[in-house]
Structure 1
Amino acid sequence: MSERTVAGTGNALLSRFHLGGSGPTVAIKDCIDIAGQPTCGGSAALADARPAAQHADVVRRLLADGWQITARANMHELAYGMTGINEWNGTPVNPQDAARMPGGSSSGSASAVGAGLVDVSIGSDTGGSIRLPAACCGVAGFKPTYGRVSRAGAWPQASTLDCVGPFARNMDLIISAMASIAPGFDLAAARAPQAGARVKLVQADADPAIAAAVQAAFDAAGWTGTPIGLADMQAAFEAGMVLINRETHTAFGHLLGRGSLGTDIEKRLAAAGATSDEAVARAEQVRGTFTAAVDAALADADALLMPTLPALPPTLAEIRNGASVLTLSALVRPFNLSGHPALSIPVPIAGSKLKAGLQLVGRKGDDETICALGLHLEQALRRAPA
């Protein structure tokens, strides 16, 4: 275990402390400012960062509402990866299966919640970085509508993709956290009954066991809906990659060549520097087209439903032997591009101890309905026969 993480936390937590009141406990991802502490982004390249002068807005709001902020969560270096592997701090343990990757970049946030180290954690999601580790670790994770939760004090400082949001083991805590961090969040709407919801099932290429788990959860919820194809998912995935590469290089390219970045991050960040203005312009065109397609699909539905991940997370050994993980974000990254709210909630897989992630995507600004749908689904699954 790395000496840079708290013993007994499976590399999920970088430090323990106490700020705030006596409410539920919260861990904060290492790319979100806490006054008096350095924000290191999981990277040796930022190990000498000066302590933050003030709290990030999300931290300030949690403290104002009496939450206990008790830990700093580990993460994939510079929030620029999906595996959660961190050779400097140590890789957080996946509480569902220690052999498998925890998912990134909010790996410590998902691991800490899944292991019961904290009640809630706050992460960030630029290309699936909340929903992907939530699905890997068997917890709920919510990416709000882009801009709904303030990013002031979150790094990188400028992003057209990134959202700050919560992880928890149940939807009630997700909803309570959103009520604190999202101004104007309507608690009553987020807990409104959703038995009659209209939910469209997006056709997705996923492993049969995961597709069956998602379908069974939909059936248990009792919702009405029809299967649909969602145009331009692949193009939106690729456009999201172009923009995250450009924006991450803009934020952190100055760290290249110093010998302090992990080998994989050094290589990826250097390659990102070659992202052309023409590629960015094309990606922005795809953003407009795909956003319109999602808006149209939601015009007569409360949500879109699909797997969070198309397959189970690979093992750490498989990744270190060269297994690619890029396509694991195929169903989550497009909604960073479009900015729609998206929730991953764990659902059981028949014959397996592991849970899969089911993703619900909603109308922009209607985060409350997505939370209410997640609460309804969670309650339905509790009532379903084992």
Structure 2
Amino acid sequence: MTTRDRLEAILAQLAARAGDERVFMKIYGESARAAADAADARVRASVSLGALDGAIVSIKDLLDVAGEPTLAGSLMRRDAAPAMEDALVVRRLRRAGAVIVGKTAMTEFAFTALGINPHYGTPGNAADPALIPGGSSSGAGVSAAEGTSDISIGSDTGGSVRVPAALNGVVGFKPTARRVPLDGAFPLAPSLDSLGPLARTVAQCIATDAVMAGKEAFAPAPLALTGLRIAVPRGRLMEGCDMIVAAAFDRSLARLAAAGAQIIDIAVDDLLAGMREATRAASIAAIEGAEIHADWLTTGAPTAVDRNVSGSLGRAMQVPAVTYIRTMRRRAELAAAMDARLSAVDFLVLPTTPIVAQPIAEMLADDMHADRTEGLLLRNTQVANQFDLCALSLPVPGNRLPVGLMLVGRHGHDRRVLAAGLAVEALLRDA
């Protein structure tokens, strides 16, 4: 099937639900057709731009596209000045032959992990539309899982790629911060933000990561599992897992052990407690986000902003600069301590999220329940952002609802994590 044929099938699917479209914020039908035709012409000429040539890609609604305002999931941004040029990663994707099909939905300003947006609607989970999609890259997770894109580009500040990947049953990769340039991406917290892919295979994430990072193409062999030291952070990060997640995690560990990996326990609760204490006044994401949105926060939060967003930012506005500076200094110390501890193992492995996707209606009906659910969804994923690590979420097959298994690697060990992901993906798929 040609790229144009595959694109037309996707566009027809989107057209059929145009009256209730919640996964995509914008669809680029005309430009996508032109890009697809160009990719097909290259195939006929036996020319290739690389692994992403002809791949159908969706991009999160916080990435700039020349000539239009970048909404970032907010009503406030509708009157923003149009972007002068595409975000750098979008330019790189286009140069690699990717077909940009559209912009996907997100939570407002990339806050919150549930995936709910009160302004533009909430995409239903790909496994069950009554369930939350996870956020903030909500549309990206659903698009990759339902097949309206081959690859979706999201952002991850506390888990916003990996949470929707886990809840929708796809692969999600959070690179080491600053590996992928953020130029032209609307920020949440620059110290923590990363841009990463969601897709149905690790190989697709590897190809996409290389293009986005401006690196040479990387086609590794799966990392040998025999003798690999895989550490389970027993303690806080393993608490509160629901039965589906716990059973899937235990099965995955058993398969890794049977394949020759060494499964060992590791203690990190002291470092987690240190980070909780360092961010007691407010999270780094909230403090840095408050600075980004300070202009409208100081004049009073507009009623058009999701109260869950404006409330968190407003509280963080009260944090003194000295507290933020001390928080970041302490974070650097804790990140160094975590790196030293992980030097004795190859990877951490843990459930991406300790719970599966929950009903949207329950989140809307009970704010306290929604807050608790969000805390659980972010608990494990945010470790990689806080301690400046890289992480890959893999779907664990054979469950009633999607479950994610997360490999966490040291700072800068992105390609090693991805090579390990190839091996673990094959192991879980073949089991």
Q: 1:361 is matched with which residue?
A: 408
The aligned runs of 1:51-130 (5 Å cut-off) are 51-130=82-161
- Matches of 2:110 and 2:382 in 1, distance apart? 14
Distance 1:353 1:8, change over 3 A: farther
Q: CA deviation at 1:86?
A: 0.7
Asked if 2 retains the 8 angstrom alpha-carbon contact of 1:242 and 1:279, the reply is no
Corresponding residue SS for 2:404: strand
CA contact (8 A) 1:9 1:117 kept: no
Where does residue 271 of structure 2 map in the other structure? 232
Match of 1:255 among 296, 299, 303: 296
Residue in 1 that maps onto 2:342 = 298
Q: Tell me the CA shift for residue 129 of structure 1.
A: 0.9
Matched, 1:288 2:332: yes
Structure 1 counterpart of 2:223, one-letter code: P
Matched position secondary structure for 1:358: strand
Matching of residue 170 in structure 1 with residue 214 in structure 2 = no
Q: Distance in 2 between matches of 1:71 and 1:237?
A: 38
Which moves more between the two structures, 301-310 or 10-19? 10-19
One of 336, 341, 345 as aligned partner of 2:394:
345
Identity in percent? 35
TM-score, structure 2 length as denominator?
0.82
Contact 1:306–1:359 (8 Å) recurs in 2: yes
Structure 2 residue identity aligned to 1:374 = G
Question: Counterpart of 1:114 in 2: which secondary structure?
Answer: helix
**Contact 1:234–1:330, Cα closer than 8 Å, also in 2:** no
Distance in 2, matches of 1:327 and 1:134, equals: 15
1:383 aligns with 430
Please give the alpha-carbon distance, in whole angstroms, between the structure 2 residues aligned to 1:309 and 1:341: 16
| Partner of residue 3, structure 1 | none
> Does the 8 Å contact 2:207/2:217 carry over to 1?
no
Unaligned runs of 5+ in 2: 1-16, 40-53
Other-structure match for 1:205: 239
Please state how far the C-alpha of 1:188 moved relative to its aligned partner.
3.4
Residues 343-375 of structure 1, C-alpha deviations (whole Å, 9 max, x = no match): 1111136xx421211111112111111111111
What is the aligned partner in structure 1 of residue 173 from structure 2? 142
Per the alignment, in what secondary structure is the counterpart of residue 152 of structure 2?
strand
C-alpha contact 1:84 1:105 (8 A) present in aligned 2: yes
Residues 277, 345 of structure 1: alpha-carbon distance in 2 compared, 3 angstrom cutoff: same
**In 1, Cα distance between equivalents of 2:195 and 2:278:** 21
> 2:78 aligned with 1:47, yes or no?
yes
| Partner deviation per Cα, 1:246-295 (whole Å, 9 max, x = no partner) | 11111123234333212322222222212233432342244123312321
Match of 1:267, SS state, is helix
Counting matched residue pairs gives: 377
Does residue 12 in structure 1 map to residue 23 in structure 2? Answer: yes
- Equivalent of residue 270 in structure 1, options 314, 337, 345: 314
| Secondary structure of the corresponding residue to residue 350 of structure 2 | strand
Asked whether the 8 Å contact 1:178–1:185 carries over to 2, the reply is: no
Instruction: For residue 262 of structure 2, give the secondary structure of its aligned residue in structure 1.
Output: coil
Determine which structure has more spread, i.e. the larger CA radius of gyration: 2
Q: Secondary structure at the match of 1:355?
A: coil
Could you give the per-residue CA deviations for residues 41-94 of structure 1, whole angstroms, max 9, x where no partner exists? 100011112221111111111111111111101100011111111111110111
Letter in 2 for 1:205: E
Partner SS, residue 362 of structure 2:
helix
Q: Quick check: which one's helix share is greater?
A: 2
Q: Secondary structure at the match of 1:225?
A: strand
Name the SS of the counterpart of 1:181 in structure 2.
Answer: helix
One-letter code aligned to 2:26: S
Q: Deviations over 1:196-230 (max 9, x none)?
A: 33211221214143133123123323222301121
Compared with structure 1, are the counterparts of its residues 358 and 99 closer, same or farther at alpha carbon in structure 2 (3 Å cutoff)? Answer: same
Is the contact between residue 189 and residue 284 of structure 2 (CA under 8 Å) also seen in structure 1?
no
Contact in 2 for aligned 1:249/1:272 (Cα 8 Å): yes
Cα deviation 1:115-140 (Å, max 9, x = unaligned): 11101111111111111111111111
1:153 aligns with 2:184: yes
User: Aligned ranges for residues 211-226 of structure 1 at < 5 Å?
Assistant: 211-221=246-256, 222=259, 223-226=261-264
Quote the residue 1:307 is aligned against.
Answer: 351
Matched with 1:242 is 283
Using the alignment, how far apart are the partners of 1:239 and 1:93 within structure 2?
Answer: 36
Gaps of 5+ in 1: 1-5
* Distance verdict in 2 for CA 1:224–1:372, change over 3 Å: same
Shift of 1:313: 2.9
Please give the alpha-carbon distance, in whole angstroms, between the structure 2 residues aligned to 1:16 and 1:201.
42
1: CA distance, partners of 2:419 / 2:127: 26
